[in-house]
Structure 1
Amino acid sequence: MKTLPLLCCAALLAALPASARADNLYRGGSFPSLATDLRASQVGDLVTVIIYQRSSATTTAQQSSNKRTDLQGDLDVGGIDEGGRLRIGGGYAGRGEARRSEQLATTISVSVSAILPNGDFLVEGRHDMLVNGEKTLIGLRGRVRPQDIGNGNVILSSRIADAQIEYDGKGYVSRSAKPGLINRIFSFLGLG
């Protein structure tokens, strides 16, 4: 009768699930922290870039010149009294001004294309859109420090070194915004 309780205990222990070992629960590199966001860390990872570029420039040139030359002479011989006067003068005044203002605000996802020896990321990406026959291209290339990537894996374009931002459009709207052939010829000749 003593063997019956021992057999029951042995069967009960065999029916219990096997214990889990700690090294099976945690695998390094694949256990995300519960309090932080995932951020780009290797080639192929994506980063969201908020592009906000604003620039304005004004150039003004003003020039004026004035020149005056007077030449005067008198001749008095006998009964002849003659006088002469010559006055030459001229002036020029010119003014030119050019103003330019641009603003671009958009969001684009780019991928890490390389990791530099100092740990910086080379990122690049492009976004092509076709809306109502108007094709728009947004491209970005530059160098990112990993510590500049914020929460949500987002970085501002102002924090990208050596940034090359391309924004171009082709289509009906772009064509109609350009001057016509005659205006371009006059502008080339300095007449318009």
Structure 2
Amino acid sequence: MKKSTFFRGVIAAVVIVMHGCAMVPPEAVVTGPLTAPPPVPISPEVVANGAIYQPGAYGNYPLFEDRRPRNVGDIVTIIIQERTNAAKNVSTSTNRNSNAGLEFGATPSILPGDLGARQNFGVEGSNQATGTGSSRADNLFTGTLTTTVVGVLPNGNLQLAGEKQIAINRGSEYLLFSGVIDPRSITGSNTVASTQVADARIEFRSKGVMDEVQTMGWLQRFFLNISPF
């Protein structure tokens, strides 16, 4: 095998490894199923009792039961109203001064003759420090998403999950959501605010040209990962 061919193969392998290391997909926030599994079809047993309503048949609700979601597969609309504001200011100032001195104005005759003005001394010191810092973050996320009940907890709370995908020309956007809600927080219009969802996970990402222009080049990202500076 020629050396040139060998070096070309080595360079190609290094480039492929660098490309694979650089293109690391973002970590997913919403995990788990995004919709309820379809129920196993059940053939309702026909009871010859002359009643129009037969319990157990899909789509039938008791006469005095509301339509509030409570079973796996029911849908709930989430009103996303996420807004966070955080600010922090820090200011520190310290100042310290110290003085020390010794002076012999007159020396008694009973003391040694070398103990006099030549032993006078004075020391002064000061220390001052000042520091300031500030930080601020504002986030706003609004929208709506209809989710599906994917589980019912023993205490009656509902586990929700859902997604929405929108494709426009050569780009696409998708919204993922999961969380746990109390059925009593669902309004009459079958909606619940995202601020009343426990363990809420909201993920909004895009694919396409708009996402690619925001991504650092793979070679630049590779050297950034190995750079010690």
TM-score bracket, shorter-length normalisation: 0.5 to 0.7
**Deviations along 1:29-75, whole A, 9 cap, x unmatched?**
64569999844232122211001011111112221111212233436
Which residue of 83, 91, 95 corresponds with 1:66?
95
Does 2:50 align with 1:23? Answer: yes
Alpha carbons of 1:51 and 1:37: their partners in 2 closer, same or farther (altered >3 Å)? farther
Q: How many pairs does the alignment contain?
A: 162
Aligned-residue RMSD, C-alpha? 4.1
Q: Distance in 2 between matches of 1:51 and 1:58?
A: 23
Q: Distance in 1 between matches of 2:141 and 2:116?
A: 84
**Residue 122 of structure 1: aligned partner:** 159
Equivalent pair of 1:50/1:155 in contact (CA under 8 Å): yes
Q: Distance in 1 between matches of 2:214 and 2:169?
A: 12
**Deviations along 1:106-148, whole A, 9 cap, x unmatched?**
1111111111122221111233445576654432221122222
Identity among equivalent positions (%) equals 24
Alpha carbons of 1:138 and 1:25: their partners in 2 closer, same or farther (altered >3 Å)? same
Q: TM-score, normalised by structure 1?
A: 0.63
**Residue 15 of structure 1: aligned partner:** none
Higher relative contact order (CA 8 A, sep 6+): 2
1:165 Cα offset (Å): 2.7
Equivalent pair of 1:134/1:172 in contact (CA under 8 Å): no
Does 2:117 align with 1:88? Answer: no
Which residue of 32, 42, 64 corresponds with 2:71?
42
Alpha carbons of 1:36 and 1:158: their partners in 2 closer, same or farther (altered >3 Å)? farther
Equivalent pair of 2:146/2:162 in contact (CA under 8 Å): yes
**Residue 107 of structure 1: aligned partner:** 144
Q: Distance in 2 between matches of 1:84 and 1:160?
A: 73
More strand by share: 1
Alpha carbons of 1:145 and 1:79: their partners in 2 closer, same or farther (altered >3 Å)? closer
Q: SS of 2:95's equivalent?
A: strand
Q: SS of 1:23's equivalent?
A: coil
Q: Distance in 2 between matches of 1:36 and 1:149?
A: 15
**Deviations along 1:69-121, whole A, 9 cap, x unmatched?**
22334366699778553322120111111111211111111111111122221
Q: Distance in 1 between matches of 2:182 and 2:115?
A: 97
Instruction: Report which stretch shifted further, 38-47 or 127-136.
Output: 127-136
Q: Distance in 2 between matches of 1:80 and 1:143?
A: 84
Q: Which has the greater radius of gyration?
A: 1
Q: Distance in 2 between matches of 1:106 and 1:69?
A: 62
Q: SS of 2:73's equivalent?
A: coil
Q: Distance in 2 between matches of 1:69 and 1:131?
A: 72
